[in-house]
Structure 1
Amino acid sequence: MPVWLRKTLVVLITVFTLGTVSPPPHLLADSDKSTSTESAENYIETKNITSPQIEKDPEPDFHTMPWKEIAATYEDTEDLQDAFVTYTVIQATEQTRQKFGERIESKRGEEFRSVILPKIEETITYLSSELDEEIMRNLMISDRPTKGKGEKIFHIKNASTGLDIFRLHVRRENPPGKGHWFSFHYHDARDHFASHHELGSIYWDRNTPPNWMS
């Protein structure tokens, strides 16, 4: 029975009997129950409106935060590894752009990101899977690519020991009759940095390329 009809019947019975007859209990019970239900619903709606929102921790900024600060926000080893790969790929992108300088970046930047960068990501993914979690949390990536004709893009080192574990380089090559090339490679502490592990090469031009960061 609708609430308004129950209330109307209660009033009519009371008026016409001058209060000598009480309304049937089910009318009063339903009315009370309905009133309680309405009050409960109003309370719930009010609570939903006024309850404060739970604030989530902000996501770490992979572009500006040091790796150790980012690593501290991850507890799961797999998530930590994924974060390190993401962080390193961002560093490789930004520091290679810096090393290229405006002239080389404008001509070969996109080719680097489409051809070489995926191979860097694959290499870092494998490297991080081989590292102890404690070591991974204490890594540091250098932020000063070399100018001129130097090869260094960045080095990754164990901040606790100060020793390099990975070196990302790019070498200028000029094979006879084949023009000028940029050869990307890395060195690994596991073979004492003796070998050039090739990542790929990008053709520049017949003419000599400008110095890095020029």
Structure 2
Amino acid sequence: MKKWFQKSIIITVALLTFGLISPSHFIWEQILDSKSPSRTIASNANDYEQVTITDESYVYKNMAHAAREQAYIKFGNRIGPVIQHEFDDVIFPKMQEAIDMTIAKASAQEITRLSISEQPSGDHHEKIFNIYNDSTKKDLIRFHVRTDKKPQEGYYFNFHYHLAEDKYSKHYVLGDIYWSKNTPPKWLS
């Protein structure tokens, strides 16, 4: 596709959406890739609302970004900086793998209806976020973090998830992160 045409599409979409769709390279590469049949681009300026993206890789990346964001909201300013590196290196790759597995099991139609909850629970509650079907409002997977106190060792954050398949009865452990012997602050603080 010619560069001038690509730039004009980007400018047109930016103007019509009042800047709500930023010119992120990943998004525009996916939208402007004319070889993929799963993408449709509006034919004229009046149909700009009909731009749809059903590419699973876009959904995977979007979910992963939202998951990390919700986790850091849950951690707050006091816990987040302390556990950030271990979370990013150990826990988040396993969390992303669980998300990918859940999305892979969903049908193409269901994938377009998946959403991520936006309110992690505070105080000492476990919920980080849930991935749910937006039309049925039923959770597919729930991600939690629990504070455990091990005698003579101290406090750990136990990251785990629950699946709708087994009615959320089983803990699927993602891993533990050590805090210290001191009581950790409340979530969202």
Shorter-chain TM-score bucket reads 0.7 to 0.9
1:123 equivalent among 93, 98, 108: 98
The CA distance in 1 between the partners of 2:160 and 2:5, in whole Å, is 47
Give me the CA root mean square deviation. 2.2
3-state SS, counterpart of residue 190 of structure 1 = helix
Gaps of 5+ in 1: 1-50, 63-71
Larger Rg: 1
Q: Which is richer in helix?
A: 1
3-state SS, counterpart of residue 165 of structure 1 = strand
Matches within 5 A, 1:1-214: 53-55=4-6, 57-58=9-10, 73-75=52-54, 80-214=55-189
Q: Is the 8 A contact 2:157 2:177 kept in 1?
A: yes
Sequence identity, in percent?
Answer: 37
The CA distance in 1 between the partners of 2:171 and 2:86, in whole Å, is 21
What do the CA deviations read for 1:97-147 (whole angstroms, capped 9, x no partner)?
111111111211121111111111111111111111111111111100001
Q: Which is richer in strand?
A: 2
1:88 CA drift (Å): 1.7
3-state SS, counterpart of residue 170 of structure 2 = coil
3-state SS, counterpart of residue 75 of structure 2 = helix
Work out the number of aligned pairs and report it: 151
The CA distance in 1 between the partners of 2:81 and 2:4, in whole Å, is 46
Gaps of 5+ in 2: 14-20, 25-50
TM-score normalised over the length of structure 2? 0.74
Q: Is the 8 A contact 2:67 2:116 kept in 1?
A: no
What do the CA deviations read for 1:162-197 (whole angstroms, capped 9, x no partner)?
111111111110122221000111110011111011
1:81 CA drift (Å): 2.2
Which segments of structure 1 move beyond 2 Å, counting only runs of 4 or more? 55-62, 72-75
